[in-house]
Structure 1
Amino acid sequence: MTNHAVFDYRDFQRWRRPFEIGFWLASYVLNATFNSVTSAIDHAALPAWEPWSWEWSSALVLLALVPAVIAVERRWPFRFDTWRRSLPLHLLASVPFSLIHVGGMIALRKLAYAMAGQHYDFGLWWPNFGYEYLKDVRTYFSIIAMLALYRLWLLRLQGEARLLVAPEEGPPVEPVERPERFLVRKLGREFLVNASEIEWLQASGNYVNLHVRGRDYPLRATMAGIEERLDPARFVRVHRSYFVNLDYLTEIEPLETGDARLQLRDSVKIPCSRRYRAALRERFGQPDCAKPVAS
């Protein structure tokens, strides 16, 4: 079951970008079409192009704003453990979101009406904007909700790592401060990953990805926090965003910039910054930084 799930996730990764773009396109196209039909029925006395221009002008601007909302959500993730801190920031971001939506929507409607030889009148700005904002704030947080659900689905498909904690009663069966194994939850099942099998670690926002046999398991932690839990005899920090397991390091390639490029057994190449390069080479007894080292 696990290998099949991994295959599914890797296969999805190849189509992830088209899937994400297609999802938002399909959502707004279907929503705009449905709203246009109902609006045309509600305003049967008007030419059909008018209600259609209202709905599509709104949908096109909202669709164009989706990447901006995604960027804001990445900067201030909306999760169970962060929503109290990020909620005020997202409420603040919803104001320019609505201003851009309403402004762009009016511009497109004026253009459509001008092409039909007519004039579009939005009416009094502030009263009408207040009405539009009440709708836009719901739209903004519906996008945030979809992003949060999508993230949870990806974590469930990919698997998420956790540190072992001390039992409520009795001594732990293995060290907790420097764990020998990590707990991984995937598709409703849990299994253990040996720390010695972790090839490298990479910071990713509020997570640290554990790379194990071609799979990435996100661990909710910071690089500084996880550094204290790793065995310094095995794991070395080589970059502000990377740790490597020395057992899997095969080559250190110096670069003209003073940095280096590390190659691991699985042929993955990881950056090594100048700040950590000298210390890494000293681990192999070669302080001369001008020569490549193969371990």
Structure 2
Amino acid sequence: MSLTHFQRYQTWYAAFFLSSYIFINNTINASSNIMEAQRDGELPFMIWEPFVWEYSSAIGTLLLFPALVWLLQAQPLNWQKITRSLFIYFIASVIFSLLHVGIMVAIRKIIYNVQGMQYDFGLVWFELLYEYRKDLWGFLFLIVVIKTYQYVVSQLTGQATPITHAEDAPQDLNFDRLLVKKLGKEFIICTDQIDWLESSGNYVNLHIGTRIYPLRATMTHLISRLEPQGFCRIHRSHAIRLDAIESITPLSSGDSEIKLITGKVLNLSRRYKEQFKGQINSSAVWV
């Protein structure tokens, strides 16, 4: 698997590996419950019940995982205000546990009702405290997993940062160079090497040939800074360097296809067509 392929689909790979780990771990837990009960004598439950208990917990964790990723982005740990950060994460862990318990209990009740049985959660306050102990550990474990994964990916793929013309230059100035950090090395890329831009959450992926470098920015803010360098937005999620265009093909839908010199084909949305034509005309050299 090439690094470029991984960069393009890293969210799906992360989801697959996390799901696989959680379900394998919970399958082992369920089978351990059955084996321990058999070793002690007669089973006090139906053989499918431990799997319902464990898988309902796994589903709850996976459903809440995106919220945990969002929390780390919206409220990163601030060591200068560590008391405030710890308080926020403590409240988040309590909410995480309550939602996790609510999801898994709801799933269990539905399955038990389908089987014509009644699911008893137990003494509420005691069970919530019991579950919070486990959920707090799971909450912290997932944070470590997310931060470790992000660090490893950033080291493998590199990350770009705009280079301003002076140390004290404000961050909204136009720029024509990027500093890329990758595997402990730093090197400079000129913006005229970028073929196209791709919005990806809080980042914009810079496509340079077969390489991809993430830059922490929004597409709207970044394209406003790169327009003087000959870039144009063509879609809600895409922008291109005009000099990288090979051909433009109109479509019956009113959109167009733009083929880049690299062979990449991107969609020109009707919403951005007039703006695109304006920039093409203003940058054209008539002879």
Give the TM-score normalised by the residue count of structure 2.
0.73
The one of 30, 52, 58 equivalent to 1:57 is 52
Counterpart contact for 2:37–2:43, Cα < 8 Å: no
Letter in 1 for 2:193: E
For structure 1, which segment, 191-200 or 256-265, has the greater mean C-alpha deviation from structure 2 after superposition? 256-265
1:196 and 2:195 matched: no
Shift of 1:199: 0.4
Counting matched residue pairs gives: 271
Match for residue 19 of structure 2?
Answer: 24
Report matched runs for 1:203-282 at 5 Å: 203-282=199-278
Counterpart contact for 2:203–2:216, Cα < 8 Å: yes
By percentage of residues, which structure has more helix? 2
Counterpart contact for 1:207–1:220, Cα < 8 Å: yes
Change in 2 beyond 3 A, CA 1:271/1:159:
same
Q: Distance in 1 between matches of 2:252 and 2:192?
A: 32
Alignment RMSD (CA, Å): 4.0
Change in 2 beyond 3 A, CA 1:61/1:34:
closer
Letter in 1 for 2:107: G
Q: Secondary structure at the match of 1:57?
A: helix
Match for residue 164 of structure 1?
Answer: 163
Change in 2 beyond 3 A, CA 1:191/1:176:
farther
The one of 28, 35, 43 equivalent to 1:33 is 28
1:249-282: CA deviation from partner (whole Å, max 9, x where unpaired): 1122223333322111122122222232123224
Percent sequence identity over matched residues? Answer: 27
Counterpart contact for 1:165–1:176, Cα < 8 Å: no
1:146 and 2:149 matched: no
Shift of 1:195: 0.7
1:129-149: CA deviation from partner (whole Å, max 9, x where unpaired): 342244234424533442332
Counterpart contact for 1:164–1:181, Cα < 8 Å: yes
Match for residue 3 of structure 1?
Answer: none
Counterpart contact for 1:40–1:48, Cα < 8 Å: no
Runs (5+) with no aligned partner, structure 2:
78-84, 283-287
Match for residue 82 of structure 2?
Answer: none
The one of 78, 87, 98 equivalent to 2:72 is 78
Match for residue 81 of structure 2?
Answer: none
Shift of 1:12: 4.4
Runs (5+) with no aligned partner, structure 1:
1-6, 287-295
Counterpart contact for 1:181–1:192, Cα < 8 Å: yes
Counterpart contact for 2:175–2:226, Cα < 8 Å: yes
Q: Secondary structure at the match of 2:24?
A: helix
Change in 2 beyond 3 A, CA 1:280/1:145:
same
Q: Distance in 2 between matches of 1:124 and 1:110?
A: 20
Q: Distance in 1 between matches of 2:155 and 2:28?
A: 33
Q: Distance in 1 between matches of 2:38 and 2:177?
A: 65
Q: Distance in 1 between matches of 2:142 and 2:47?
A: 23
Shift of 1:190: 1.4
Give the TM-score normalised by the residue count of structure 1.
0.72
Q: Distance in 2 between matches of 1:272 and 1:57?
A: 48
Shift of 1:56: 3.5
